């Protein structure tokens, strides 16, 4: 092996030099690395020990707090005992156990659909479904702020990408109007956008899409599942467009509280995807303990009205508290369980992030290219298990950190 670090020669790593230099300069200022946090102990869905300090978690996607639900944990332990640690195989070979069927049945019931397909992650669900449905010569029309897994699905399938301005119905309509009428199109929307926590105007978007021929609609409900709609199906349920969405993609890594991804649909030919979708076929299936925890969690989320109400209250309180303090937020009104605090630059974002951590609060720091329009964000995501008292404490910590760093006056 060669020691490339010892020389100045150009190699395949050279393209990362600007990022390496930027990180080195930032860390040289003495701040902690926001991307190297270790949770030494996790005490509950909302508390962990980080570097010896008890810390409130406000940067997880554990919206419904299911990670420590006793029934969920018990189901995982039982499956581990009865079925072992892993499947060691693809869903289409030796990797389909009774538990995989059970979690797909739970999803079909949760979503009221005839088909459900489980993937090893939500990333792979988008990668697989989008690349398999839309191939060379087809179009994927997507929101400019779409998640990386959606863009990567377009790349893998070699479809033509057409982007429209974030949440702009007018731009979506205009761009669809420019495409050949006989071309096949997949329009990909997200119910809730994870960076700013804003929600898509789905009925208006669906109405615009339906003016154009040969369009199917996929809605990613990664951040809507559990929280939105009378049955917790997502923003598309809350906004009454269930009959119009051809495919819903989601993940087990947020409200469900474990790991995995899925797609549900009523399309009569949906099952064929199991044989032609490469990110489904050519990878090992989820371990039995994971599908057992997911199935139990999904069934409990069907009756989680009280948790949904408390999460909504938490989100409204935090949004009001932060906006009263003078922070600039990603959306003017609380729209979801994600509240993004917009900061002026990387130095200020890191200073705020580190001060909050020292006070005992963990939030996510997000930066370009993950964030829209080059913004630096502190992303707060609330949990149904955050108590009223914790939300009060969180607002107090933001006030202290904001004043200490000059982010607010």
Binding site residues, ligand PMP, CB under 6 A: 121-123, 126, 147, 149, 190, 194, 220, 222, 251, 253, 261
Q: Which is nearer to ligand PMP, 290 or 359 (CB)?
A: 290
Residue 222 CB, shortest distance to ligand PMP, in Å, is 4
Query: Using the 8-state DSSP alphabet, how is residue 4 labeled?
Result: G
Helical segments of 288-387, H only: 288-301, 305-325, 346-359
Question: Using H for helix, E for strand and C for coil, what is the string for 228-291?
Answer: CCCCCCCHHHHCCCHHHCCEEEEECCCCCCCCCEEEEECCCCHHHHHHHCHHHHCCECCCHHHH
The residue (of 255 and 314) whose beta carbon lies closer to ligand PMP is 255
CB of 106 to ligand PMP, least distance (A): 17
CB of 262 to ligand PMP, least distance (A): 9
Could you identify the residue written with the tokens 């404490």?
393
Distances (CA, A) of 103 to 61, 180, 247, 277: 20, 40, 18, 19
Name the minimum Å distance from CB 33 to ligand PMP. 20
Q: Could you tell me the smallest distance in angstroms from the CB atom of residue 24 to ligand PMP? A: 27
User: In terms of CB distance, is 226 or 321 closer to ligand PMP?
Assistant: 226
What does each C-alpha distance from 353 to 204, 342, 364 come to in angstroms? 37, 12, 8
Q: Which residue is nearest to ligand PMP (CB)?
A: 122
CA distance 85 to 291: 12
Q: Which is nearer to ligand PMP, 147 or 319 (CB)?
A: 147
* Smallest gap from residue 147 Cβ to ligand PMP (A): 4
Q: Where are the beta strands (DSSP E) in 47-191?
A: 47-50, 53-57, 115-119, 139-143, 160-164, 185-190
Alpha-carbon span 391 to 397, nearest angstrom: 10
| CA torsion, ordered 115, 120, 121, 124, to nearest 10 deg | -80
- CA 210, 211, 213, 218 dihedral sign is negative
Please state the closest distance from residue 237 (CB atom) to ligand PMP, in A. Answer: 17
Cβ distance to ligand PMP smaller for residue 220 or 321 = 220
- Complex with ligand PMP: residue 149 or 354, whichever CB lies closer: 149
What is the sign of the dihedral through the CA atoms of 194, 200, 202 and 207?
A: negative
User: Using an 8 Å Cβ cutoff, are 321 and 391 in contact?
Assistant: yes
Which CB, 121 or 167, lies closer to ligand PMP?
121
Min separation Cβ 149 and ligand PMP, Å: 5
**CB nearer to ligand PMP: pick between 86 and 396:** 86
If we measure between CA atoms, which residue out of 319, 308, 306 comes closest to residue 227?
308
């Amino acid at each position: 092996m060669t020691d490339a670090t010892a020389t100045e020669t150009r190699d395949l790593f050279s393209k990362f030099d600007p990022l390496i230099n930027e990180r080195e300069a930032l860390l040289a200022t003495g701040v902690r690395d926001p991307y190297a946090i270790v949770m030494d102990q996790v005490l509950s869905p909302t508390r962990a020990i980080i570097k010896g300090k008890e810390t409130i978690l406000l940067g997880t996607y554990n919206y419904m707090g299911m990670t420590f639900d006793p029934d969920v944990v018990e189901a995982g332990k039982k499956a581990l005992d009865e079925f072992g640690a892993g499947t060691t195989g693809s869903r289409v070979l030796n990797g389909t156990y009774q538990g995989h069927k059970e979690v797909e049945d739970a999803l079909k019931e949760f979503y009221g659909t005839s088909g459900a397909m489980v993937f090893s992650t939500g990333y792979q669900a988008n990668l697989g479904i989008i690349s398999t449905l839309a191939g060379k010569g087809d179009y994927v029309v997507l929101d400019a702020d779409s998640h990386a897994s959606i863009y990567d699905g377009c790349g893998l399938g070699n479809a033509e990408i057409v982007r429209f301005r974030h949440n702009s119905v007018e731009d979506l309509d205009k761009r669809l109007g420019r495409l050949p009428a006989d071309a096949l199109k997949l329009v990909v929307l997200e119910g809730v956008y994870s960076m700013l926590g804003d929600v898509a105007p789905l009925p208006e978007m669906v109405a615009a899409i339906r003016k154009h021929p040969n369009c199917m609609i996929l809605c990613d409900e990664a951040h809507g599942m559990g929280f939105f709609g009378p049955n917790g199906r997502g923003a598309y349920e809350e906004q009454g467009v269930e009959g119009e969405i051809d495919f819903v993609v989601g993940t087990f890594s947020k409200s469900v509280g474990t790991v995995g991804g899925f797609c549900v649909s009523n399309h009569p030919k949906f099952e064929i995807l199991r044989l032609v979708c490469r990110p489904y076929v050519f990878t090992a299936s989820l371990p039995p303990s994971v599908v057992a925890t997911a199935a139990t969690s999904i069934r409990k989320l069907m009756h989680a009205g009280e948790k949904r109400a408390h999460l909504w209250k938490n989100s409204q309180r935090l949004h009001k508290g932060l906006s009263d303090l003078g922070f600039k937020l990603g959306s003017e009104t609380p729209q979801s369980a994600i509240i993004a605090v917009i900061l002026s630059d990387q130095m200020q974002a890191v200073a705020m992030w580190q001060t909050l951590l020292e006070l005992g609060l963990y939030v996510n720091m997000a930066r370009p290219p993950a964030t829209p329009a080059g913004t630096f964000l502190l992303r707060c995501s609330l949990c149904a298990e955050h108590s009223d008292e914790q939300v009060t404490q969180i607002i107090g910590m933001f006030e202290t950190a904001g004043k200490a760093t000059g982010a607010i006056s």
